Structure 1
Amino acid sequence: MIDDRIDEIASALTFVRGQTDLLTRWGRELADRLAAGGRLLAAGNGGSAAEAQHLTAELVGRFDRDRRPFSALALHADTSSLTAIGNDYGYAEVFARQVEAHARPGDVLVLLSTSGRSENLRRAALAGVRAGTTVWAMTGPPPNPLATVADEAVCVPGCTATIQEMHLVLVHLLCAAFEQALAVPLPRRAVRAS
C-alpha cells in the first residue's frame, strides 16, 4: 500500500515536471500584475482551501526571499462573508459573490479543487471571467467543469491525496517562479568567523 502511494506520487511528480514552462509563465505574469498593483484572489474547499490559503500567505509574507508584501486574499478565510453569503444565497455562491465584490481587471484568481467539480468554484471562475480577471485552476484529472471555465488549468492525475500533495508542489513552484520573476536576490548567508 505504501509502495503504491510512493509510486503514484513519483508518477505525479513526473507530470508536474512537465508543467514547469506553464508555471514559469504564470509566475512572471503574477509578478507583473501584482507589482503593478493587482491582487491575487484564491479559494478552495477543504484541503484545497488550505492550499489556497498557503499560496496567499506566501505572497503576503514571503516564500524564499525577503521582499515587499503583495496583495493576496483567501476568499474562504473570511468566515463572516462566507457564512452570510452561504446563508442568504446558498453555498454555490460563496466565492462568486466575493469575486464580484473584489476582482478587477488585472487581478488573478487561483482556484484549487481536487475534483474540478465543485459548483462554488466553477461559479467563482465564471464571475472572474466576467470581471476581466485572469482565472487559473489547479484541479484533478480532466475533463472537469472548473478546468473548462478557467483561462488555464493544471489538471493533476491521481487520487485525492496525491492531487492535494501535487497542488502544494505547484503552489511552491508558482511562488518560486514569482520571486524569480521579481528578480529578488536571495538573502546573504552570514559567514562565521573561524
Structure 2
Amino acid sequence: MASRTVQYATPSRDDYNRLTDDQKTRVGEAFDLFDSNKDGLLSYEEFRFVLRALGFELPKATTYDLLVRHAIKPTNWPHDQDCPPVYRLFNLATLQAIAGTLIRQRDPREELRRAFRLFDVDGKGMITQEDLRRVSKQVGNNIPDADIVAMVEEFDASGKGGVDEDEFLRLMLSKK
C-alpha cells in the first residue's frame, strides 16, 4: 500500500503585505497571545481564537476548510504518513496570509457598525455623552466633560441627545 503525501498550500501574503503597520501588529499580537505553548504554531482551536480576537466569527465549515488547505503537519509527524486535519498546525506566515485576506475583504461600514456597538452597549441606537464618558474612563483617557458635551452637540445633527449610527458612519467615513 503506497502512502499519500499531502501538499499543503501556503496562501498568498499579498493582502497581508498591504495592511497598515497597526493591522500587522494586531495580527502578530493575536498570534503571540494565543500561541499558548510558545512554539510558533497554532492548533486549530488556537487559530479560531485568533480569528475571533481579530473580529472574525467564521463558521466552523470555513475555518475547517482553511485547516485542510493551509495547516501543516507537526514536525514530529512521520514524514511518510498522512496527517489528519485535527493534528495540523498553523504557523505565523500562514496566519498572516489568512488574516491579511480576511482584513482586506472587510466591509469598512460593517467595521464601523461594530465600533458603534462598542460605544452603544445598551443598544439604544445612539452614542450619548454618558457612553463617551464611560469609554473615556475605560481607556484611561479622561476627556474633560466640556469636550464630551461639545463632541455630541457638534455631531448630533438632529438634536436628539446623541450621535446615531448614520451620523457616526458619515463622520467616520469622512475622515478617510
Larger Rg: 2
- Both proteins in one fold, TM over 0.5: no
TM-score calculated relative to the size of structure 2: 0.28
Name whichever structure is richer in strand by fraction: 1
Higher relative contact order (CA 8 A, sep 6+): 1
